[in-house]
């Protein structure tokens, strides 16, 4: 199958809509990462997503809807704080897990009784969702375990030949996957950290828990138990205090004929003068936005990516550190 990349416009949105309503899958841009989408009520189409990605069949998908879509068609909203969160942070990189009404097929929810829903803010994505006026389920548009794509080219590198169309909506501004928030309980609980931070949720709801995953627990968000986001080269992760260890590791790799790169925030780069660098930027938002792009650039030109940790786990750094541990730890 030939895979076409087309800039999002009226014509390509119409083509994407036709493929999707015909039971096909299409890669779509969002403000977080690119998604691999199918109509959420079509079991056969949803199965294709799992096959193409090689995704474990117990890792459910997020349903994406346009901003005027009536959520009550899909899920039961049990708590009023949900409306405050919707008002404050949607459309945007916030996914909420509700009690499902069973409209979305069981292949997408992996037979569970909950459904994760998100309203993306990406203009091209909204355009498609509005045109199709049905929920699209979509995981990230990469092969399972690989780093998530933030450009149409990244999607092409993983999935060319397997899907007919990639809608190109430019580089994703957010850069890491959405915050996944369990809103079935009296207080919300973060299942996966992202750009909508614990602090931002607390500012609206007053409180916000974080799901802890202990060995043997029934995981609430299955995605978190898998190895994830890994680039194809070797990786290592150090704290920002371990400058000597980082330089030793770098030199070891050079000594065996390798080509190491140090991936770090701009403020620690001065410790690594004249070394190969993958610079992530300065603010937490810049760093999140560049993280996967730099990992995917690094895997192409490097034998080893040495990642340097963030200063702490506050705000957006929580989501960044979660991805850094899984991709490089």
Minimum distance from residue 143 beta carbon to ligand AMP (Å): 12
Choose from Mg ion, ligand AMP, none: what does 127 bind? Cβ within 5-8 Å by kind. Answer: none
Which H or E element spans position 252? Answer: helix 243-255
List the end-to-end C-alpha distance of the chain, in Å, as a whole number.
36
- Pick one of 66, 192, 294, 323: the residue that binds ligand AMP (CB under 6 A): 192
Q: Which residue is nearest to ligand AMP (CB)?
A: 223
Pattern 52-71, ligand AMP, x by CB under 6 A: -------xxxx---------
Minimum distance from residue 271 beta carbon to Mg ion (Å): 32
Tell me if the bond preceding 82 is cis, omega within 30° of 0. no
Q: Does 59 bind Mg ion (CB under 5 A)?
A: no
Minimum distance from residue 145 beta carbon to Mg ion (Å): 9
Neighbour-count burial of 253, counting CB atoms closer than 10 A to its CB (0-12 exposed, 13-18 middle, 19+ buried): buried
Q: Does 178 bind Mg ion (CB under 5 A)?
A: no
Please give the Cα distance from 136 to 304 (Å, whole number): 37
Q: Does 30 bind ligand AMP (CB under 6 A)?
A: no
Choose from ligand AMP, Mg ion, none: what does 97 bind? Cβ within 5-8 Å by kind. Answer: ligand AMP
In 3D space, the residue among 136, 128, 163, 166 whose CA is nearest the CA of residue 149 turns out to be 166
Minimum distance from residue 85 beta carbon to ligand AMP (Å): 16
- Pick one of 65, 116, 167, 287: the residue that binds ligand AMP (CB under 6 A): 116
Considering beta carbons, is residue 221 or 302 the nearer one to ligand AMP? Answer: 221
Residue ranges in 130-159 that form contacts with ligand AMP under rule CB under 6 A: 139-140
Choose from ligand AMP, Mg ion, none: what does 60 bind? Cβ within 5-8 Å by kind. Answer: ligand AMP
Q: Does 221 bind Mg ion (CB under 5 A)?
A: no
Token pair recorded at residue 172? 């994703």
Residue ranges in 114-153 that form contacts with Mg ion under rule CB under 5 A: 140
Cβ–Cβ under 8 Å, residues 308 and 262: yes
Q: Does 29 bind ligand AMP (CB under 6 A)?
A: no
Which H or E element spans position 4? Answer: strand 4-7
Q: CA Rg, the chain, in Å?
A: 20
Minimum distance from residue 239 beta carbon to ligand AMP (Å): 26
Please give the Cα distance from 24 to 46 (Å, whole number): 9
Q: What is the dihedral of CA 197, 201, 203, 207, to 10 degrees?
A: -120
């Amino acid at each position: 199958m030939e895979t076409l990349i087309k800039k999002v416009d009226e014509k390509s949105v119409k083509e994407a809509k036709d493929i999707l309503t015909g039971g096909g899958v299409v890669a779509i841009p969002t403000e977080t990462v690119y998604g691999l989408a199918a109509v959420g009520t079509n079991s056969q189409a949803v199965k294709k997503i799992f096959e193409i990605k090689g995704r474990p069949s117990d890792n459910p998908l997020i349903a994406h809807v346009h901003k005027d879509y009536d959520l009550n068609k899909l899920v039961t909203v049990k708590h009023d704080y949900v409306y405050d969160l919707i008002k404050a942070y949607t459309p945007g990189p916030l996914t909420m897990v509700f009690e499902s009404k069973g409209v979305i097929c069981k292949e997408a929810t992996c037979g569970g009784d909950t459904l994760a829903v998100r309203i993306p803010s990406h203009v091209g994505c909204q355009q498609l969702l509005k045109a199709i006026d049905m929920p699209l389920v979509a995981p990230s548009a990469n092969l399972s375990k690989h780093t998530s794509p933030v450009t149409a080219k990244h999607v092409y590198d993983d999935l060319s030949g397997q899907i007919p169309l990639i809608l190109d909506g430019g580089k994703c501004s957010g850069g890491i996957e959405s915050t996944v928030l369990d809103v079935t309980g009296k207080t919300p609980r973060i299942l996966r950290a992202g750009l909508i931070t614990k602090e931002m949720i607390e500012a609206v709801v007053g409180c916000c828990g974080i799901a802890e995953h202990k060995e043997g627990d029934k995981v609430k968000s299955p995605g978190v138990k898998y190895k994830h986001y890994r680039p194809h080269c070797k990786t290592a992760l150090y704290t920002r205090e371990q400058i000597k260890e980082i330089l030793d590791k770098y030199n070891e790799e050079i000594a065996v004929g390798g080509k190491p790169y140090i991936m770090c925030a701009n403020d620690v780069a001065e410790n690594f003068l004249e070394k190969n660098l993958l610079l992530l930027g300065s603010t937490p938002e810049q760093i999140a936005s560049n993280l996967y792009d730099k990992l995917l650039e690094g895997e192409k030109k490097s034998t080893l990516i040495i990642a340097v940790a963030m200063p702490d786990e506050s705000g957006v750094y929580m989501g960044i550190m979660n991805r850094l541990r899984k991709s490089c730890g």
